[in-house]
Structure 1
Amino acid sequence: MFRIATVVFSISIFTYWFVKKSAVGIVKDSLSLQVVNKLPQTLDFYVINNNDPDKNGILEAKHIGKIRPEYYRIEHLKMDKSNEYWIVGYLGKKNLVYFSQHSVPNKNIDQIIEVQNYINQSVKLSDIAKKDVEAYNHENIKLGIWVSLDFLLLFLNLVLLLRKKK
């Protein structure tokens, strides 16, 4: 009976988590950001939102994705406590080739950013952004490992529950 309750609870938790992670991130009163890659190579883009009005260094990184040349991605940013965001572009895993800082004067107007050249607007801020992106990727790797192990345990419990006794 305990195994049945555990399996049902685990399946419901994972279903909720999967739906929450898979749903489109449209947030009420959010700023739509469109990033267009005009460069000849595919870049891996991240957006970093400074959601701390006290400037204590709390940054939120989001992976926009790999954007091919002449393609775009749209991301929805929650800009309640922030008036700026950074865009970071990587060529490969660790080669930061694009960094730009953008202020948001009007949060009701959506923004379109065209990446037309390899630029690093601020070396100091790009180092901070690089560390934040590395921490974000590290957390995602840890989360992926835990989810894989949990799915393995769930699968084993489900198989043991459903197998026929001899």
Structure 2
Amino acid sequence: MVFFILVIFWACILSLILYKIKSGRIAKWARLFRIVTVVSAISVFTYWFIKKSAVAFVDNSVGLQVINKLPQTLDFYLINVNKIDKNISLEPKHIGKVRPEYYRVEYLKMDKSDEYWIVGYLGKKNLVYFSQHSVPNKNIDQIVEVQNYINQSMKLSDAAKKQVDAYNYENTKLGIWITLDFLLLFLNLALLLKKNKK
């Protein structure tokens, strides 16, 4: 998705530059490019938002239910421990904020993994919960009840925290690029509609 966001960004900037061309043979091609850019950008973002909003069910996956039994709302992250050719890669995912006595459901793709970690934050930086879970049977869904503030491994929780920080940094960076794209898309759309009214 990052590639498409960068392509949309530069296409929108080029479209704004091409807006200055209002006469001659190139003007028709410039206008066509601007229309294609706006329509394509709207289509890509619509598809992306629908995909993000849909239930993240994965075929041949293990269902995970995280239940918060603590008296405070915690922000949970899931880290899938993938083992590829004797190398371990950590794949973080934001489960979301879970209020007391509520739960969230996620689906784990465990084809290259038999272990996952749950990380809970109170606020943005305060890691108050870490647990390590193995999946011996991938046909049975997992239920994790968070009943107390524990940290099963300081070493692993430090690794998990680094992964979560990197994950949040990448998401923030992506959010900035998407905001810039929306701004440029809005400007291009406004200029196209203004042109049509004349």
TM-score by length of 1: 0.96
Query: d(CA) in 1 for partners of 2:162 and 2:85?
Result: 20
Residues 117-153 of structure 1, C-alpha deviations (whole Å, 9 max, x = no match): 1100000000000000000100110111111110111
Q: Which runs of 5+ in 1 are unaligned?
A: none
Secondary structure of residue in 1 paired with 2:138: coil
Residue 79 of structure 1 corresponds to which residue in structure 2? 110
Specify the structure having the higher radius of gyration (Cα): 2
Q: Please report the RMSD computed on the Cα atoms of aligned residues, expressed in angstroms.
A: 1.2
Q: 1:2 aligns with which of 33, 58, 63?
A: 33
Aligned residues: 166
Residue 125 of structure 1 corresponds to which residue in structure 2? 156
Residue 26 of structure 2 corresponds to which residue in structure 1? none
Cα deviation for residue 17 of structure 1 reads: 1.6
Residue 48 of structure 2 corresponds to which residue in structure 1? 17
Q: 1:145 aligns with which of 155, 176, 185?
A: 176
Percent identical residues: 79
Query: d(CA) in 1 for partners of 2:34 and 2:45?
Result: 16
Cα deviation for residue 53 of structure 1 reads: 3.1
Q: 2:100 aligns with which of 54, 58, 69?
A: 69
Secondary structure of residue in 2 paired with 1:139: helix
2:127 aligned with 1:102: no
Query: d(CA) in 2 for partners of 1:122 and 1:153?
Result: 46
Cα deviation for residue 15 of structure 1 reads: 1.5
Query: d(CA) in 2 for partners of 1:34 and 1:16?
Result: 27
Secondary structure of residue in 1 paired with 2:83: coil
TM-score by length of 2: 0.81
Q: Which runs of 5+ in 2 are unaligned?
A: 1-31
